[in-house]
Copies of this chain bind each other. A is one copy, B any other.
Amino acid sequence: MMRLKIPEPTIKRLLVYYRFLENQIGVNEQKVLSSRELGEGVGVTSNLVRRDLSFFGEFGCQGVGYDVEILKDNLKKIIGISQQRQVILVGAGNLGRALLNYNKFVGIEIVEVFDCDLNKIGNTVNKLEVKNVKLMEEIIKERDIKLAIIAVPADYAQNVALQITGAGIKAIWNFAPVPLKMNEDVVIINEDLACGLGCLVYKLNQLEQQIV
Protein backbone atom coordinates (compact mmCIF):
# COMPACT_ATOMS: atom_id res chain seq x y z
CA MET A 1 0.00 0.00 0.00
CA MET A 2 1.31 3.43 -0.86
CA ARG A 3 -1.37 6.18 -0.65
CA LEU A 4 -0.93 9.63 -2.18
CA LYS A 5 -1.52 10.49 -5.82
CA ILE A 6 -3.90 7.86 -7.09
CA PRO A 7 -4.26 7.76 -10.88
CA GLU A 8 -7.60 8.99 -12.18
CA PRO A 9 -8.07 5.87 -14.34
CA THR A 10 -7.71 3.83 -11.16
CA ILE A 11 -10.50 5.78 -9.50
CA LYS A 12 -12.78 5.24 -12.48
CA ARG A 13 -12.13 1.51 -12.37
CA LEU A 14 -13.06 1.23 -8.69
CA LEU A 15 -16.72 1.54 -9.56
CA VAL A 16 -16.35 -0.96 -12.36
CA TYR A 17 -14.93 -3.48 -9.90
CA TYR A 18 -17.67 -2.76 -7.41
CA ARG A 19 -20.44 -3.14 -9.97
CA PHE A 20 -19.01 -6.45 -11.11
CA LEU A 21 -18.93 -7.77 -7.55
CA GLU A 22 -22.52 -6.66 -6.98
CA ASN A 23 -23.65 -8.48 -10.08
CA GLN A 24 -21.67 -11.60 -9.27
CA ILE A 25 -23.36 -12.06 -5.92
CA GLY A 26 -26.56 -13.32 -7.43
CA VAL A 27 -25.01 -15.28 -10.27
CA ASN A 28 -23.18 -17.88 -8.22
CA GLU A 29 -22.29 -18.52 -4.63
CA GLN A 30 -18.65 -17.58 -5.05
CA LYS A 31 -17.25 -16.31 -1.77
CA VAL A 32 -13.72 -15.64 -2.97
CA LEU A 33 -12.38 -14.45 -6.29
CA SER A 34 -8.94 -13.82 -7.75
CA SER A 35 -7.61 -10.69 -9.41
CA ARG A 36 -7.56 -12.71 -12.63
CA GLU A 37 -11.28 -13.49 -12.42
CA LEU A 38 -12.14 -9.93 -11.50
CA GLY A 39 -9.95 -8.58 -14.26
CA GLU A 40 -11.45 -10.85 -16.90
CA GLY A 41 -14.91 -9.87 -15.76
CA VAL A 42 -14.33 -6.19 -16.31
CA GLY A 43 -11.81 -6.32 -19.14
CA VAL A 44 -8.51 -5.41 -17.52
CA THR A 45 -5.40 -7.39 -16.59
CA SER A 46 -5.02 -9.05 -13.20
CA ASN A 47 -1.89 -6.98 -12.65
CA LEU A 48 -3.86 -3.81 -12.98
CA VAL A 49 -6.58 -5.00 -10.62
CA ARG A 50 -4.03 -5.74 -7.90
CA ARG A 51 -2.21 -2.51 -8.55
CA ASP A 52 -5.42 -0.49 -8.33
CA LEU A 53 -6.54 -2.10 -5.10
CA SER A 54 -3.14 -1.91 -3.46
CA PHE A 55 -3.29 1.88 -3.52
CA PHE A 56 -5.89 1.64 -0.79
CA GLY A 57 -4.72 -1.25 1.35
CA GLU A 58 -4.32 -5.01 1.45
CA PHE A 59 -7.67 -6.60 0.87
CA GLY A 60 -6.63 -9.97 -0.47
CA CYS A 61 -5.06 -13.08 0.88
CA GLN A 62 -1.94 -14.38 -0.84
CA GLY A 63 -2.42 -17.73 -2.46
CA VAL A 64 -6.19 -17.38 -2.11
CA GLY A 65 -7.67 -14.23 -3.56
CA TYR A 66 -10.18 -11.64 -2.38
CA ASP A 67 -13.20 -12.28 -0.22
CA VAL A 68 -16.09 -10.93 -2.25
CA GLU A 69 -18.02 -9.39 0.64
CA ILE A 70 -14.99 -7.82 2.26
CA LEU A 71 -13.75 -6.37 -1.01
CA LYS A 72 -17.19 -5.05 -1.81
CA ASP A 73 -17.50 -3.33 1.54
CA ASN A 74 -14.06 -1.84 1.23
CA LEU A 75 -14.75 -0.53 -2.26
CA LYS A 76 -17.96 1.02 -0.99
CA LYS A 77 -16.02 2.90 1.66
CA ILE A 78 -13.20 3.87 -0.66
CA ILE A 79 -15.44 5.26 -3.39
CA GLY A 80 -17.74 6.81 -0.83
CA ILE A 81 -21.01 5.11 -1.66
CA SER A 82 -21.72 3.62 1.74
CA GLN A 83 -24.75 5.84 1.93
CA GLN A 84 -26.63 7.32 -1.00
CA ARG A 85 -25.82 10.89 -1.80
CA GLN A 86 -28.64 13.22 -2.78
CA VAL A 87 -28.24 14.75 -6.21
CA ILE A 88 -30.08 17.22 -8.42
CA LEU A 89 -30.44 17.20 -12.19
CA VAL A 90 -30.76 20.34 -14.29
CA GLY A 91 -32.36 20.04 -17.71
CA ALA A 92 -35.22 17.59 -18.13
CA GLY A 93 -34.65 17.18 -21.86
CA ASN A 94 -33.93 14.04 -23.82
CA LEU A 95 -30.74 13.10 -22.02
CA GLY A 96 -31.90 14.34 -18.65
CA ARG A 97 -35.00 12.15 -18.78
CA ALA A 98 -32.93 9.13 -19.81
CA LEU A 99 -30.68 9.64 -16.80
CA LEU A 100 -33.70 10.13 -14.52
CA ASN A 101 -35.23 6.87 -15.71
CA TYR A 102 -32.02 4.95 -15.14
CA ASN A 103 -32.19 3.33 -11.73
CA LYS A 104 -28.86 1.58 -11.73
CA PHE A 105 -26.44 4.30 -10.72
CA VAL A 106 -24.93 3.32 -7.40
CA GLY A 107 -24.28 5.67 -4.52
CA ILE A 108 -26.61 8.44 -5.64
CA GLU A 109 -30.26 9.31 -5.58
CA ILE A 110 -31.62 12.03 -7.82
CA VAL A 111 -33.98 13.95 -5.58
CA GLU A 112 -34.81 17.08 -7.56
CA VAL A 113 -35.14 18.01 -11.25
CA PHE A 114 -35.19 21.50 -12.65
CA ASP A 115 -36.03 22.99 -16.02
CA CYS A 116 -36.87 26.43 -17.38
CA ASP A 117 -39.36 25.24 -19.97
CA LEU A 118 -42.93 25.89 -18.81
CA ASN A 119 -44.10 22.91 -20.85
CA LYS A 120 -41.87 20.63 -18.81
CA ILE A 121 -42.30 22.16 -15.37
CA GLY A 122 -44.90 20.17 -13.47
CA ASN A 123 -44.37 17.01 -15.49
CA THR A 124 -43.39 13.84 -13.68
CA VAL A 125 -40.35 11.81 -14.68
CA ASN A 126 -39.73 8.58 -12.81
CA LYS A 127 -41.84 9.78 -9.87
CA LEU A 128 -40.08 13.14 -9.67
CA GLU A 129 -41.82 16.41 -10.42
CA VAL A 130 -39.91 18.75 -12.70
CA LYS A 131 -39.58 22.05 -10.86
CA ASN A 132 -39.02 25.60 -12.04
CA VAL A 133 -35.33 26.43 -12.23
CA LYS A 134 -36.09 29.63 -10.33
CA LEU A 135 -36.57 27.54 -7.20
CA MET A 136 -33.29 25.72 -7.74
CA GLU A 137 -30.87 27.75 -5.66
CA GLU A 138 -33.19 27.91 -2.70
CA ILE A 139 -33.80 24.16 -2.74
CA ILE A 140 -30.09 23.36 -3.10
CA LYS A 141 -29.39 25.36 0.04
CA GLU A 142 -32.39 24.03 1.90
CA ARG A 143 -31.57 20.38 1.25
CA ASP A 144 -27.81 20.98 1.42
CA ILE A 145 -27.17 19.29 -1.93
CA LYS A 146 -23.54 19.01 -3.02
CA LEU A 147 -23.70 17.16 -6.35
CA ALA A 148 -25.46 18.17 -9.55
CA ILE A 149 -25.93 16.77 -13.02
CA ILE A 150 -26.00 19.29 -15.86
CA ALA A 151 -28.00 18.26 -18.91
CA VAL A 152 -28.87 21.62 -20.42
CA PRO A 153 -27.82 22.87 -23.88
CA ALA A 154 -24.18 23.92 -24.19
CA ASP A 155 -24.95 27.65 -24.31
CA TYR A 156 -26.57 27.60 -20.89
CA ALA A 157 -24.24 25.22 -19.08
CA GLN A 158 -21.74 27.79 -17.80
CA ASN A 159 -24.51 29.95 -16.38
CA VAL A 160 -26.21 27.04 -14.69
CA ALA A 161 -22.85 25.96 -13.25
CA LEU A 162 -22.31 29.40 -11.75
CA GLN A 163 -25.79 29.45 -10.24
CA ILE A 164 -25.54 26.05 -8.60
CA THR A 165 -22.01 26.46 -7.27
CA GLY A 166 -23.14 29.77 -5.85
CA ALA A 167 -25.82 27.86 -3.98
CA GLY A 168 -23.37 25.33 -2.57
CA ILE A 169 -22.86 22.64 -5.22
CA LYS A 170 -19.33 21.22 -5.04
CA ALA A 171 -19.39 18.51 -7.72
CA ILE A 172 -20.76 18.61 -11.25
CA TRP A 173 -21.35 15.82 -13.73
CA ASN A 174 -21.50 17.81 -16.93
CA PHE A 175 -23.01 16.47 -20.13
CA ALA A 176 -22.91 19.76 -22.02
CA PRO A 177 -20.01 19.78 -24.49
CA VAL A 178 -18.28 22.82 -23.05
CA PRO A 179 -15.39 23.19 -20.60
CA LEU A 180 -16.87 24.73 -17.47
CA LYS A 181 -14.75 27.44 -15.89
CA MET A 182 -15.00 27.02 -12.15
CA ASN A 183 -13.10 27.68 -8.95
CA GLU A 184 -10.61 25.11 -7.73
CA ASP A 185 -12.92 23.96 -4.96
CA VAL A 186 -15.46 22.46 -7.37
CA VAL A 187 -14.86 19.06 -8.90
CA ILE A 188 -16.09 18.46 -12.41
CA ILE A 189 -16.36 15.42 -14.63
CA ASN A 190 -17.08 16.26 -18.23
CA GLU A 191 -18.94 13.59 -20.13
CA ASP A 192 -18.41 14.69 -23.69
CA LEU A 193 -20.06 11.91 -25.63
CA ALA A 194 -19.39 13.31 -29.08
CA CYS A 195 -15.64 12.84 -28.86
CA GLY A 196 -16.01 9.13 -28.22
CA LEU A 197 -18.01 8.91 -31.42
CA GLY A 198 -15.45 11.01 -33.26
CA CYS A 199 -12.70 8.69 -32.11
CA LEU A 200 -14.68 5.70 -33.31
CA VAL A 201 -15.25 7.19 -36.75
CA TYR A 202 -11.54 7.98 -37.01
CA LYS A 203 -10.57 4.43 -36.12
CA LEU A 204 -13.09 2.93 -38.49
CA ASN A 205 -11.65 4.99 -41.31
CA GLN A 206 -8.13 3.90 -40.41
CA LEU A 207 -9.27 0.29 -40.42
CA GLU A 208 -10.88 0.59 -43.83
CA GLN A 209 -7.98 2.43 -45.43
CA GLN A 210 -5.57 -0.11 -44.05
CA ILE A 211 -7.36 -3.04 -45.64
CA VAL A 212 -8.20 -1.47 -48.99
Residue ranges of A at the interface with B (Cβ–Cβ < 8 Å): 8, 11-16, 18-19, 42-43, 78-81, 85, 94-95, 97-98, 101-102, 104-108, 146-147, 170-173, 177, 179, 185, 187-189, 191-205, 207-208
- From the candidates B79, B95, B97, name the one contacting A202 in the complex (CB within 8 A): B79
Interface SS majority for chain A? helix
The reply to whether B79 and A198 form a contact with Cβ atoms under 8 Å apart is yes
Chain B's closest residue to A177 (CB) is B19
The reply to whether A187 and B203 form a contact with Cβ atoms under 8 Å apart is yes
Interface core residue of A104, A105, A173, A201 (most chain B CB under 10 Å): A201
Residues of B within 8 A of A204 (CB): 80, 85, 146-147, 170-171, 187
16 A-B pairs within 8 Å (CB atoms) are namely A11-B203, A14-B202, A15-B194, A16-B177, A79-B205, A94-B97, A95-B98, A106-B194, A107-B197, A171-B203, A171-B207, A173-B196, A187-B200, A187-B203, A188-B200, A189-B199
